[in-house]
Structure 1
Amino acid sequence: MIVIENRPRRVEVTVYAEFTLADYQEFENAVNYVIQFEGQVDLFFDLREMADFTLDVAWEDIVFSRAHAKDFSRIAVLTESQWVAWSAWLSQIFVEAEMRVFDEEVEARAWLAEGEGEGLA
């Protein structure tokens, strides 16, 4: 299950329990909407409550990331799991965004706030 919040030039996602393909597609729709109307977007992923994810989510993430390589400015991943941190680092290969992994929400939000206004034409 996911909860998505749209903010100006940012999509915030919190994942609970298993991250499924239906959840990921909901995320994609939210991001595509913001990109269409606002341009480049920041992402905030809170994965502290994520239990696991399905293999089709991992594949969809690769496909989506490659298709939107230039559409993200900053990506903050909030997690306490080393495995999730490693997989986030690996997915950075497919996007040109600045990506960081955090274990403290305050630090993640502060870092995203520092980048607000970057990439605006």
Structure 2
Amino acid sequence: MSALHGLTIEIDRDRNDFFMEIKAIGTLTHADYEKITPIIDEALEGVTVPIVNVYIDGTEFDGWQLQAAWDDLKIGLKHGKKFDKVALYGNQHWQEVMSKIGSWFVSGEVRYFDDPLEALAWLRG
């Protein structure tokens, strides 16, 4: 397990359209989600019908501690209907499998990419 871990997030908003860029590093913990969940909740609060596109850079992502996996699932259950497209840029087969499982929890489309430019082009297309 990598000692370095965490989530960084950048959110751009244009009326009801949101673009979230998330980078996951190392093995994520409950504490990582305690920092990021309120940011997501606050960004989407009060928006009746948000359209959210998400770019996730998972190239330095190793996985989750058990509690953090539950935290990730809770975000999907709470906000999943708001996600239009989720692009996961990664470099490991298990990440591609996880993107397929993630699609069960969001109403939009989830796709795995091994090229960041293809991922961004798909999100913007």
Q: TM-score range by the shorter chain?
A: 0.7 to 0.9
How many pairs does the alignment contain? Answer: 114
Check conservation: 1:11, 1:44, Cα contact below 8 A. Answer: yes
2:109 matched to 1:98?
yes
Matched with 2:3 is: none
Matched with 2:85 is: 74
Deviation, 1:46, is 0.4
Normalising by structure 2, what TM-score? Answer: 0.81
Matched with 1:2 is: 7
Question: Is there any run of 5+ residues in structure 1 with no aligned partner, and where?
Answer: 115-121
Check conservation: 1:34, 1:41, Cα contact below 8 A. Answer: no
Distance 1:6 1:69, change over 3 A: closer
Moved over 4 A (4+): none
Matched with 1:30 is: 39
Matched with 1:119 is: none
Tell me, in whole angstroms, the C-alpha distance in 1 between the residues paired with 2:35 and 2:76.
15
Question: Is there any run of 5+ residues in structure 2 with no aligned partner, and where?
Answer: 1-5
Tell me, in whole angstroms, the C-alpha distance in 2 between the residues paired with 1:26 and 1:45.
17
Q: Which amino acid aligns with 2:12?
A: R
Tell me, in whole angstroms, the C-alpha distance in 2 between the residues paired with 1:100 and 1:71.
16
Tell me, in whole angstroms, the C-alpha distance in 2 between the residues paired with 1:95 and 1:80.
22
Q: State the identity as a percent.
A: 26
Structure 2 residue matching 1:80: 3-state secondary structure = coil
- Give the root-mean-square deviation of aligned CA atoms: 1.6
Deviation, 1:37, is 5.3
Tell me, in whole angstroms, the C-alpha distance in 1 between the residues paired with 2:84 and 2:42.
16
Normalising by structure 1, what TM-score? Answer: 0.83
